[in-house]
Every structure is written in C-alpha cells, then in structure tokens.
A = this chain, B = another copy of it.
Amino acid sequence: MISPEKPYVIGLDLGGTNSVFGIVDADAHVVAETSVKTRGHNDNAQQYVDDCLVELRKIIDQVGGIEKISAMGIGAPNGNYYTGCIEFAPNLSWGREVVPLAKMFSDALGIPVAMTNDANAAAIGEMTYGAAKGMKNFIMITLGTGVGSGIVVNGQMVYGCDGMAGELGHVIVEKDGRECGCGRKGCLEAYCSATGVARTAREIISKTDKPTLLREIPLDQIESKDVSIAAAKGDEVAKEIFEFTGRMLGEACANFAAFNSPEAFIFFGGLTKAGDLIMEPIKRAYEETVLKIYRGKAKILISQLDDAKAAVLGASALGWEVAMEKGVALNQGIA
C-alpha cells in the first residue's frame, strides 16, 4: 500500500519537557531520532516549530530527504485528533490557547500530519506493539510531567465528541485539594505527576522526624527521581511517598473502572521505574476500593515499551494511518 519510495514516517512525542522526533520504518524500527526542549522558544508556537524543524531536517537528511517520508504523527498534550490543534494545554507555555500544530508541520514539510493526545499515542503504541496487544478495552495512564490517559473501548480509541476525550489526569480526586496547572484544584495530576510526587515528598518530609536520605537535598529542590533513588536504597520515607502516590492512583483507577470495565490499566512513564514500590500500592488500593463486581478483573500492568519509544512509536502508528489513507488514494488515482 505504501509507495516503496517513501518507506518512513515521522513520529513526534511532544512531552512537557522534551519533544522527541523519531523516523520510523514499517517494521516499527526507529531509524533516526532527535529531540528538542519543549519549553522556551519565546513562548511562541511558530518559534517552537521553526526550532524543531532545524533539528528535524538533520535526521530527515540522514534517511535520504523528505521524499522518503510518507507522513507524520504527533502525540501532544491536549492534541485534538479531529482538528489537529493543541487546545489549551496548561503545561505548554506556547500552547495555552489553540495552536494548529499539525497544519504548521504539514505546511513546512509538505507531508500529511495527524495529531492526537500524547497519551492516546502511547495507547495506540501499546495496542500495536506492547502490553495491550489484542485487548479491546483498556486504559493507559502516563505518568510524566503531567498525568495523561488513553482510553480504548471496543478496540477503538475514545476521542469523544470533540477529539479531546481521555483526560483522566484532570479528574478531581480531592475536592478543594492541591492546585493544578489547569487552574482547578484536586486533580489526579496534582498528586501523581512528577511535580506532584515532589510536592508529596516535601509535605511528608516536613511532617516527620524520621531519618531519610531525602533530607540531604534542599527541600525545595527535591525531584521525583530523587524519591525513586532513595526508595531503591530502602529509604522508608521515600517508600511512604510511593505508598501515598500509589494509593491515589489505585483509588482513582477504581473509579475509572466504573466507566469501561477495562481488561487492564497500563502505566507508563518515569514513576513506573520504581516497580513494585509504586505498583503494589496501586494494586492494593485498587482491589480494596473497586466496586465488588469489578474485583480481580483488571490487570495492573507496566508498559512493555521502551519509555522514550512508546510514544514515538504510537505517534508513528498514527502517521502510518494517514500515510495509508493517502497512499491508497494516490496509488488508486483517487483524489
């Protein structure tokens, strides 16, 4: 279906911190990769695109130029599948209004570009290559700078009436709870994102006299990864921070189950590196909290895909979708 002259697609995993570009072949090999910081660019979307293009063109040249590329898929926070726009992304300084990112890249590169939510892209990647292969109903939860989600029902991505469905990081789990980047209070993301975990660390350390490795770091400089490092060394306070975070996630997932009764929750992102330290509290809180009819049914899994590659591959899978639509049309002489 794909013209052999165009053996590649570009996948862009646009995270709150890094924007990772991969050039991917039809066998899901990432043949070239580069990345650009997502922040900065004078808080200007066009500047962001221009700065990305400088780096992107280098790897495009590596594979033989733009004529080798069929299409591009983007996974981005608040990325709208229907419109190709980033809409009101609280964590993107240049994306807090409506940014037609798919069109901007498409105009610059001269290839078709599709976009979805970064977490949806990860879910598509997981369904195509990872732990969700063959599953028809599952929920992907991405734990990074923010907390994202991709929901699959009857084997289809849930995009909703407007292309913006699946924002479980912004389900309010504590009324009048912590302030969230979205301007509201008590969102899951305010507790279980990287900054949420750092905030939990500061709160727990301030309240306890227990010895902890984390006291070696100035309180306002503790990061999520410091907690992981301390927990891996057996630090009790760090474990308590994971216990709290895991419980929040497990209780939230117990509520999510009432929606689509998923076969599995699949967790993805830096926090899952802590393994059982985070996954056990999630499982325990989930089974303790979930409605009786759902008990013991959903698997709680870690993504089987390489962290950086999952979202890039997911985005590229979206790229292949577009490429195939256009490719079929071109090969058959259809407009």
Binding site for B on A (CB under 8 A): 78, 87-88, 136-137, 151, 153-154, 156, 158-168, 170-172, 174-175, 182-184, 251, 254-256, 258-263, 289, 291-294, 297-298
Could you tell me if B183 and A294 are in contact, using CB atoms closer than 8 angstroms? no
User: Could you jot down 27 A-B contacts, CB within 8 Å?
Assistant: A78-B293, A136-B161, A151-B259, A153-B154, A153-B156, A153-B158, A154-B154, A154-B156, A154-B158, A160-B260, A161-B262, A161-B263, A161-B297, A162-B261, A165-B261, A166-B258, A166-B259, A166-B260, A166-B261, A168-B258, A172-B251, A172-B289, A174-B175, A175-B251, A182-B292, A183-B292, A184-B289
| A206 CB → nearest B CB, Å | 23
Residues of chain B within 8 A of A260, CB atoms compared: 151, 153, 158, 160, 165-166, 259
Residues of chain B within 8 A of A165, CB atoms compared: 137, 258-261
| A167 CB → nearest B CB, Å | 4
Which residue of the partner chain B has the closest CB to A167? B258
Known interface pairs A154-B154, A158-B153. Does A170 touch B291 (Cβ–Cβ under 8 Å)?
yes
Of the listed residues A162, A184, A251, A293, the one surrounded by the most CB atoms of chain B closer than 10 A to its CB is A293
Copies of this chain, whole number: 2
Could you tell me if B164 and A293 are in contact, using CB atoms closer than 8 angstroms? yes
- Bound-state Cα–Cα, A172 to B166, Å: 19
Which residue of the partner chain B has the closest CB to A78? B293
Residues of chain B within 8 A of A175, CB atoms compared: 174, 251
- Bound-state Cα–Cα, A291 to B166, Å: 12
Known interface pairs A137-B161, A153-B154. Does A171 touch B258 (Cβ–Cβ under 8 Å)?
yes
If A164-B261, A167-B258 are given as contacts, then 13 extra A-B residue pairs at C-beta distance below 8 Å, sorted by A number, are A88-B293, A137-B160, A153-B154, A153-B158, A162-B293, A162-B297, A164-B293, A166-B261, A167-B291, A172-B254, A172-B289, A175-B251, A182-B291
